């Protein structure tokens, strides 16, 4: 069965080969690369590198989701992401472009500039109009789980009786909200939100139980790249690897996600994810593989 993720004029085939979404943070304060690509020029250079490394999708964000990150106005966020998306859409017309935002006004401007996907970590719960905006444009949407709508409060809400069942139920609920707002079913991808209001054990349970999420029928996106649960797992003698030193841990977790059935990896290191997925995909029995 051919499975296509509909993102405006693009159709991304998922399930045959893992799709890799490269992260382009045009922010001064992201948790792992804050400030590294904060100007449009630096962000574009970084995006071009990720495209050369084999990214299928580039996810451009102008507001960090790190707990304690500064609030960014819609105007400032637009000023960060729109020029980058506009330039990339012009330069690489076949490449899927995503905007990582919680605000309808930013999504609207990004879509006007040429984005194909709206990636909202609150899944339309902070600013419900974002789903109408995505639906009207025929954009792909990524619906992510977090227990609250703010990174500032999410860790205090990391309490679950059955994290896998609760996340699954939440994602199904958000998918219904999205379709009610006019988003097509085949435009939806879901994401359990690794590190968003989750303790170590919750993150591990969600990765282990991925088949319970893929059974929803939507492509599942996983964002494990450089996240702090990896630092917890690899800490030795009280030394915790900083975000830029979590490469091997990231690749190990991404490989586990692929084997569990993830369709899309959101990652900082596209080259490593493409190499790992080339091997993991070949080792995974897939319906569509000849």
CB of 269 to ligand HH2, least distance (A): 11
27 sits near ligand HH2 (criterion: CB under 6 A):
yes
274: annotated active-site residue: no
Tell me which DSSP letter residue 5 carries: E
Tokens of 133: 């905006």
Which residues between 165 and 194 bind ligand HH2 (CB under 6 A)? 191, 193-194
Question: How many residues sit close enough to ligand HH2 to count as binding (CB under 6 A)?
Answer: 21
Min dist CB 105 to ligand HH2, Å, is 18
DSSP for 43-54 reads: HHHHHHHHHHTT
Burial of 162 (0-12, 13-18, 19+ CB in 10 A): exposed
Least distance CB 207 / ligand HH2 (angstroms) = 12
Whether 102 is a known active-site residue: answer no
Please identify, using beta-carbon distances, which residue of 199 and 289 lies nearer to ligand HH2.
199
- Determine if 142 is a binding residue for ligand HH2 (CB under 6 A): yes
Backbone angles phi, psi at 95, to 5 degrees: -85, 135
124 lines the binding site for ligand HH2 (CB under 6 A)? no
Pairing of strands 117-120, 96-100: parallel
Residue of 266, 274, 275, 286 with catalytic role? 266
Judged by CB under 6 A, the stretch of 20-28, 79-87, 164-172, 175-183 that binds ligand HH2 is: 20-28
Cβ neighbours of residue 241 under 8 Å, at least 6 residues apart?
230, 231, 234, 235, 249
- Residue 252: both structure tokens together: 């190990």
100 close to 122: Cβ distance less than 8 angstroms: no
Site for ligand HH2 contains 100 (CB under 6 A): yes
Establish if 26 lies at the interface with ligand HH2 (CB under 6 A): no
**Both structure tokens of 48:** 């071009």
Active site residues: 227, 266
* Contact residues for ligand HH2, defined by CB under 6 A: 23, 25, 27, 30-32, 61, 64-66, 100, 119, 121, 142, 144, 191, 193-194, 221, 223, 266
């Amino acid at each position: 069965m051919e499975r296509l993720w509909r993102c405006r004029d693009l159709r991304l085939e998922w399930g045959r080969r893992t799709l890799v979404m490269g992260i382009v943070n045009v922010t001064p304060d992201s948790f792992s690369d804050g400030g590294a690509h904060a100007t449009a020029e630096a962000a574009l250079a970084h995006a071009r590198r990720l495209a050369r490394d084999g990214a299928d999708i580039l996810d451009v964000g102008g507001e960090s989701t790190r707990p304690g990150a500064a609030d960014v106005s819609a105007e400032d966020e637009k000023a960060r992401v729109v020029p980058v998306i506009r330039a990339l859409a012009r330069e690489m017309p076949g490449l899927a472009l995503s905007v990582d935002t919680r605000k309808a006004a930013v999504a609207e401007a990004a879509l006007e500039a040429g984005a194909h996907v709206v990636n909202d970590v609150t899944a339309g719960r902070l600013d419900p109009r974002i789903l109408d905006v995505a639906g009207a444009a025929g954009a792909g949407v990524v619906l992510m789980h977090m227990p609250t709508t703010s990174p500032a409060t999410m860790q205090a809400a990391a309490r679950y009786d059955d994290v896998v069942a609760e996340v699954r139920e939440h994602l199904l609920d958000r998918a219904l909200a999205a379709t009610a707002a006019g988003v097509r079913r085949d435009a939806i991808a879901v994401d359990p939100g690794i590190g968003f209001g989750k303790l170590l054990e919750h993150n591990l349970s969600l990765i282990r139980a991925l088949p319970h999420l893929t059974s929803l029928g939507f492509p599942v996106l996983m964002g494990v790249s450089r996240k702090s649960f990896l630092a917890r797992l690899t800490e030795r003698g009280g030394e915790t690897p900083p975000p830029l030193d979590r490469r091997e841990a990231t690749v190990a977790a991404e490989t586990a996600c692929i084997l569990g059935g993830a369709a899309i990896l959101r990652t900082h290191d596209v080259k490593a994810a493409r190499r790992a997925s080339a091997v993991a995909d070949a080792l995974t029995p897939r319906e569509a593989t000849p």
